């Protein structure tokens, strides 16, 4: 009878570890994808003198589309308040395009990369999540 309890405990622990690993994979891949898109936008911005061109607009739209899809799935895994800053900064990027405010655009892009980088460090699987 005691062996049955140990087997149940081990199975529950393995399921929890599996859930934490799945969470880590989903969150990490989403944040890395957003970071990669930000680097692509920076490369586009280095070649252009203004924000009012189709390449940058399409890149921002793609970034927003990817983020809204990933944010919906990440809301089940992490606290929404922890990741809402990225969505806010993406919205700011879209506002800076008609105004052609390159400096503010670059600052918001750096903020997105900073949030993604810092979230990648603390939103991983760890023993505290399992317990």
pLDDT tens string 50-97 = 888 888 999 999 999 999 888 877 776 666 666 788 889 999 999 998
DSSP annotation of 123 reads: S
- Tens of pLDDT, residue by residue over 95-131, are 998 988 888 999 999 999 998 888 877 665 555 555 5
- Tokens 């003198």 map to which residue? 49
DSSP annotation of 77 reads: T
49 — phi, psi (to 5°)? -95, -20
Between CA 125 and CA 19 the distance in angstroms is 9
Nearest one of 74, 92, 76 to 32, comparing CA atoms: 74
pTM over 0.85: no
Q: Which is more confidently placed, 29 or 1?
A: 29
**What ranges make up the beta strands (E) of the chain?**
none
């Amino acid at each position: 009878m005691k062996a049955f309890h140990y087997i149940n405990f081990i199975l529950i622990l393995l399921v929890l570890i599996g859930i934490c690993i799945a969470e880590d994979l989903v969150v990490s891949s989403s944040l890395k994808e957003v970071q990669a898109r930000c680097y692509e936008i920076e490369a586009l911005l280095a070649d252009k003198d203004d924000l009012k061109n189709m390449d940058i607009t399409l890149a921002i739209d793609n970034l927003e589309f990817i983020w809204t899809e990933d944010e919906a799935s990440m809301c089940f895994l992490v606290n929404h308040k922890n990741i809402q800053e990225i969505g806010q900064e993406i919205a700011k990027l879209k506002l800076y395009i008609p105004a052609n405010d390159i400096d503010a655009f670059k600052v918001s892009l750096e903020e997105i990369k900073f949030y993604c980088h810092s979230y990648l460090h603390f939103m991983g699987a760890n023993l505290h999540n399992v317990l």
